[in-house]
A = this chain, B = another copy of it.
C-alpha cells in the first residue's frame, strides 16, 4: 500500500469520538462539535465607533451644548434636542435613534459647548446586529478552535463549548536492545528515543499518553497489554528491529481481538507498519527505526488523530519547490525524505537533508517536512515541484 491508501483506510476506519463540554482554556486546538450561534445581536446595542460627541443627524447647527457624558459601559437612554450633544466614548451606548457621532478631532471645545469644525457624512455608529444577528452561526461545527475562535466564543458567552473528547492513547515499546534514554547502553544496545518522540508528538495536540517499555518476552507483553488495550482508543506499539517482533505484534493484536487491516506498506522508511481495529479502537505498530516513527506519526497517526477528533480531512500532501536536487535512487518504494521547509517568496521551498540510510536520524535535528519521492524516481532536479508533508510542530 502507498501512504495515501493507508491514510484513506485509517480515515475511513476511525469513528469520531464522543464529545464533552470543556471550559474555553481547555478547548484550544479541540474540534467544535456543534455550530455556535449568536445568543443576541452583535453588537447587542448601537455603539459609538469613535471617541466624540453625539448630535442629532437632522440638526444643521455647528454649536452644541454638551448635556451629558456616556462612557463605555454606561446605559443612559435619553433624547436630544436640537443644539444639544452628548460626550460619548468609543464603545459607548448611543442614547437614542437619529444620531451621529462627531469625532473628537472634528470639534473645538467652547466652555460647556462644542463647535463643529468639520462635519462628516459618516455616522460613526456600529449598529445593533450589524456584525451578526441573534441566532446566526458564529463558528461552524468541525472548526478547530484556535485563539481567535475562542475569543469569539467568549464574546458571545459560549464559555463551555462542545468539543470532541481527547483520545485515550496507550504506547508500548518492545525491544531487548533498548534502554531508557537517561541510561548508558551496554555494548550492543541503544537508547529508546521512540518513547520521547511519541510522547511529544501527542503533546502537540495536548493528548496525554500512558507509556511502558516492555521486555521482549511474549507472555510478559501479553499480560501487560491485555488490560491497557481494553481502555485505549488508540494503541501504539514501537516495534523492535527484527522481523520476529513484527510477527509477534501481529499475533498479539490478533489474540487481543484486533483485526489486521494493514501489515506492511510500500513507504520508505515505514514498511513494516501494522494497522488493526477492534470495535471503535485502532492499533498501530510503528516500525522501530525512529525516522520511520517520525514518518508514520506525521502521516498515519496524525490521520488517525484527525479522524478520531472529527477534523475535516485535508489533502495529505502540500506542494513545494525543491531547493536542491534529490537522488531518488530509482528505489521501487515511495520514499519520504527528511527536509527543511521554508517560505521562499509565496512558495514553500524544500531542502532535502543529509540522510545516509534508514537508521540515520541526525536529520531529525532540523527536519520540519518530508518530501514524497515517488517509487521509481531517479534524480529530481532543483526547482521541480514535489509533494511534501509538513511535520507537526508547536506554534
Q: Which among B153, B155, B361, B392 is the interface contact of A155 at CB below 8 angstroms? A: B361
Q: Which residues of B contact A394 (CB under 8 A)?
A: 28-29, 144, 146, 204-206, 395
Residue A192 CB within 8 A of the other chain? yes
Q: State the copy count for this chain.
A: 2
Residue of B nearest to A89 (CB): B242
Q: Is A178 an interface residue (CB 8 A)?
A: yes
Decide: A241 and B91 in contact? CB cutoff 8 A: yes
Residues on B with beta carbons closer than 8 Å to the beta carbon of A347:
346-347
Which of A59-67, A318-326, A374-382 makes up part of the contact surface? A318-326
Q: Residues of B contacting A153 with CB < 8 Å? A: 181, 193, 196
> With the chains together, A199 CA to B187 CA distance in Å?
48
Given A25-B200, A91-B242, residue A154 in contact with residue B205 (CB < 8 A): no
Inter-subunit contact A357/B147 (CB<8 Å) = no
The answer to whether A75 and B186 touch (CB under 8 A), given A104-B243, A346-B319, is yes
Residue of B nearest to A194 (CB): B151
A33 at the interface (CB under 8 A from B): no
| Bound Cα distance A25, B92 (Å) | 48
A156-206 at interface with B (beta carbon < 8 Å) = 156-157, 159, 175-178, 181-182, 184-197, 199-201, 203-206
Cβ-closest chain B residue relative to A140: B365
Say yes or no for A116: interface residue by CB 8 A criterion: no
A45 at the interface (CB under 8 A from B): yes
B24 touches A200 (CB 8 A): yes
Which residues of B sit under 8 angstroms from A385, Cβ to Cβ?
345-346
Q: A197's closest neighbor in chain B, by CB?
A: B151
A204–B395 contact, CB under 8 A? Answer: yes
Q: Report if A138 contacts B (CB, 8 A).
A: yes
Q: Which of B51, B89, B177, B204 contacts A147 (CB 8 A)?
A: B204
In the complex, residue of chain B having the shortest beta-carbon distance to the beta carbon of A288: B91
Name the B residues within 8 Å of A150 (CB-CB): 196-197, 200
Known A192-B154, A343-B319: A368·B47 in contact at CB below 8 Å: no
Closest to A185 in B: B44
Residues A243 and B290 in contact, CB atoms below 8 Å apart = no
Cβ B184 vs Cβ A157 within 8 A: yes
Pairs across A and B, CB under 8 Å, 27 listed:
A24-B200, A25-B199, A28-B200, A49-B357, A72-B242, A73-B176, A73-B177, A89-B241, A91-B240, A91-B242, A91-B288, A104-B243, A130-B360, A138-B365, A143-B365, A144-B393, A146-B368, A147-B204, A148-B197, A151-B293, A151-B294, A154-B192, A155-B193, A319-B346, A320-B346, A321-B346, A347-B347
Please provide the 3 A-B residue pairs with the shortest distance between their CB atoms, ordered closest to farther: A73-B177, A29-B394, A75-B188
